[in-house]
Structure 1
Amino acid sequence: MKADDSLAPPGATLVVTVRDELRRQILAGDYKPGDRLPSESRLTQEFGVSRTVVREAIAALRADGIVESKQGAGVFILPPSEAGPPVFRDVDPDRVSSIIEILELRTALECDGAALAATRHSPAQEEEILEAFQRLTELARQHRPTAEADFAFHMAIARASNNSRFAEVLQLIGSAMIPRLALSREKDLPAPPDYLKVLEQEHGAILAAIQNSDPEGARLAMATHLKNSQMRYRQQLRNGRLPS
């Protein structure tokens, strides 16, 4: 089965499409508890998408307690009873404080994660971050939804820290990590045109610092991006406009 944006529901992305299809197959019994999902390369071929898309779809299933990863063994289906309690599901998009709380948490977490990624990343992890950035900017320039690609970019950096706890926490936060997705009631809407340049510049600065193995530069670029996000959301929510 090929995943195609043209076949996806309005506002859906390739990550959402692959995630939902895998969830459907699991719920339908195609994969039973304890079964191992096909390899990343096989899923990439099956759905006709990039490795980044497959990784983020599986990350979403992990965040929902549907699958678990075992180091060196693969990704396995969990019994329903083992699904963990929901976390970070009480984010209220009608409260500015709720959105800011998540951004403050991300700032405390992701700045150090980016600094570690700058010094610890492997060539493959750098390629994954670059691929996620290119996907993000491509969608932004096409005026298409970017929230899922934004999530993929930050997850790639968390993984490149080579401390699995960073990625685990971001997976637990899930879609609440990208405020514009929560505020639009789970519909990933295109960012407004005046935000596109900012989106590319801020994420590009983070990428450049990591590529240059500059931990302090990566920390500063991530802090600038997330603190600017807090400022934008405060201002736009005051004005009664949907943030981006």
Structure 2
Amino acid sequence: MAVELKTGRKGSGSLVAKVEQSLRDAILAGNYAPGDRLPSEIELTETHGVSRTVVREAVTALRCDGWVDVRQGAGIFVLDRSTIPQKSETLDGARLASDLEVLEVRTPLEIEAAGLAALRRSPAQEELIFDCHAAVLRCINENRSIREADLALHLAIAAATNNPLFTQFLEQQGQHAIPQSKVVAEHQNDEQTAYRRLIHKEHEAVVLAISDADDRAARLAMQNHLRGSQLRYRDLLRAARGLERSFP
């Protein structure tokens, strides 16, 4: 049974992530078998104490990850778990475009945040940034998703600006600040690990520049990281539409 959530003052991104995870947990627990219909949108809003927009975004995330199928006029149906690896390879253009929009908004803000963090971070904040960076590597070595650790690192950098608005922006986005679209299919372990190590290396350049109090290098490293992410997702969007990048 899903745990009731309250809207409170948390950002919509955080609520979406909680509703999404609650539904995933219910499916994994066997509360809903393949082919079963989930509660209606109205029932989900009442159960979780959130808006219909939050429910729709959570369901959209599950649909894009291959957990459910939304049938117009019929409802939301649980898909067979054995089909999820195949579905993860199907690129969803709308989802990719949404990921790009988030990255485009994050880029100028986090470039500035990295520079300010290099100038303003306290010793305790610097240590937390190192800890978060190490947590990403642990996830990679244990073959676990780096999404949560990735967000924690970016939040630690934002906090080191000592301007709460940078942190508030990321908190409002919640885990959706970190794109969910699969650059590499989940079952392609070697490729996935290589991709995660690339992200870790890009993070490392940011972290070291902040530690060195080099605001210029920190801004450049964050720019390279986030604009590199934009390029990767634009390549995916082109692939989803049957286009390929043209090289000079």
Q: Does 1:202 align with 2:202?
A: yes
Structure 2 distance, partners of 1:82, 1:233, is 30
Structure 2 CA distance for partners of 1:28 and 1:147, relative to 1, 3 Å = closer
Task: Tell me if the contact between 1:141 and 1:196 (Cα under 8 Å) persists in the aligned partners.
Answer: no
Secondary structure class of the residue paired with 1:239: helix
2:216 paired residue number: 216
Cross-structure match for 1:14: none
SS in 2 for 1:144: coil
Question: Could you tell me which amino acid in structure 2 is paired with residue 199 of structure 1?
Answer: I
Structure 2: gaps (5+ residues):
17-47, 62-91, 241-248
- Deviation of residue 173 (structure 1)? 1.2
Using the alignment, how far apart are the partners of 1:145 and 1:218 within structure 2? Answer: 25
Aligned to 2:127: 127
Identity %: 35
Aligned-pair CA distance for 1:198:
1.0
The structural deviation recorded for 1:143 is 1.8
Equivalences for residues 168-179 of structure 1 within 5 A:
168-179=168-179
1:233 is the counterpart of 2:233? yes
- State the Cα distance separating 1:98 from its structure 2 match: 1.8
| Structure 1: runs of 5 or more not aligned | 1-22, 34-58, 66-79
Equivalent residue, structure 2, for 1:99: 99
Q: What TM-score does the superposition give when structure 1 sets the normalisation length?
A: 0.58
**Counterpart in 1 of 2:166?**
166
- The residue type paired with residue 233 of structure 2 is Y
Q: Match for residue 246 of structure 2?
A: none
Q: CA separation in 2, counterparts of 1:197 and 1:123?
A: 26
Letter of the 1:99 counterpart: D
Does the CA contact (< 8 Å) of 2:13 and 2:174 recur in 1?
A: no
How far apart in 2 are the matches of 1:192 and 1:237?
18
SS in 1 for 2:144: coil
Give deviations 1:183-216, integer Å, cap 9, x for gaps. Answer: 36xxx99880221331221000000000000111
Match of 2:45?
none
Q: What amino acid maps onto 2:109 in structure 1?
A: L
Q: Judging changes above 3 Å, is the alpha-carbon distance between structure 1 residues 81 and 135 closer, same or farther for their aligned structure 2 residues?
A: closer
Q: How does 1:27-106 map to 2 (within 5 A)?
A: 63-64=14-15, 94-95=93-94, 96-106=96-106
2:13–2:175 Cα contact (<8 Å) kept: no
- What root-mean-square deviation, in Å, do the aligned CA atoms of Structure 1 and Structure 2 show? 3.5
Q: CA 1:61 to 1:131, structure 2 compared with 1: closer, same or farther past 3 Å?
A: farther
What is the CA distance between 1:142 and its match in structure 2? 2.4
What do the CA deviations read for 1:4-23 (whole angstroms, capped 9, x no partner)?
xxxxxxxxxxxxxxxxxxx9
Query: So what's the TM-score if we normalise by structure 2?
Result: 0.57
Q: Which amino acid aligns with 2:164?
A: S
Match in the other structure for 2:110: 110
**CA distance in structure 1 between the aligned counterparts of 2:127 and 2:174, rounded to whole angstroms:** 23
The one-letter amino acid paired with 1:136 is: V
Question: 1:86-124 deviations in whole A, cap 9, x for unaligned?
Answer: 6xx599864233221110100011000111100101111
Residues 60 and 123 (structure 1), Cα distance of their counterparts in 2 relative to 1, 3 Å cut: farther
CA distance in 2, matches of 1:61, 1:97: 19
* Equivalent-residue separation in structure 2 for 1:239 and 1:62 (angstroms): 27
Shift of 1:232: 0.8
User: Which residue identity does 2:177 align to in structure 1?
Assistant: M
What residue in structure 2 maps to residue 141 of structure 1?
Answer: 141
